[in-house]
Amino acid sequence: MNKNKVLVSLIVVLLLTNLAVLYYYTKYLPNQKKNASRSEWAIKTMQLDSAQAKEYRALRVIRDSALDNYNLDYRNVRLKTIDLMHQDPASDSAIYALADSIIASQKPIEVEMLRHYFRIKKILRPEQYQYLDSSIYKMVMYNTSFKKPNNK
């Protein structure tokens, strides 16, 4: 009887392990693939040929390296929110000063993104401009919490 309990326990442990692995592959790996394949999504959405795709990937590297420093500055300014939370109650002037700092640190990120879009536009043919517009629209809608207008 003890051997049967051990075997049943072992089978249950193996089944639970299999379920955990299955859960991991269905929930976590697709998110990693999404992050890794954003370039491929953009290439497909904008219908880039192989030469354009190569240039686009190079533009992404340029953009990413430029954004690295800006994002670090932005993060550091946003972390000052924690310090502000320890000022209870925080003065309006302190809140506005931090908000101004956040806005100022966000500006170079937005400028770089706009420049990135214009660099992309330079590698496109005129008939592909609509796909760039569509890509930007989809990214904006995906990255914001606003509802899509007119159920688009």
Report pLDDT for 152: 47
Identify the architecture of domain 48-151 in CATH.
Answer: Up-down Bundle (1.20)
Average pLDDT of the residues in 78-98: 87
The one-letter amino acid code at 134 reads S
Q: Is the peptide bond before 108 cis (omega within 30 degrees of 0)?
A: no
DSSP character for 89? Answer: S
The one-letter amino acid code at 34 reads K
The one-letter amino acid code at 146 reads F
* Length, in residues, of the chain: 152
Q: pTM to 2 decimals?
A: 0.65
The one-letter amino acid code at 95 reads I
Report pLDDT for 104: 93
Helix H or strand E segment including 20: helix 2-27
Q: 46 CB contacts (<8 Å, ≥6 apart)?
A: 52, 56, 120, 124, 128, 131, 132, 135
The tokens for 117 are 């879009």
Domain range annotation of the chain = 1-36, 48-151
Min mean pLDDT across 15-24, 60-69, 111-120 is at: 15-24
Q: Residue 20 pLDDT > 90, yes or no?
A: no
Express as a percent the part of the chain with pLDDT over 70: 86
Q: Residue 35 pLDDT > 70, yes or no?
A: no
Q: Residue 16 pLDDT > 50, yes or no?
A: yes
Average pLDDT of the residues in 140-149: 68
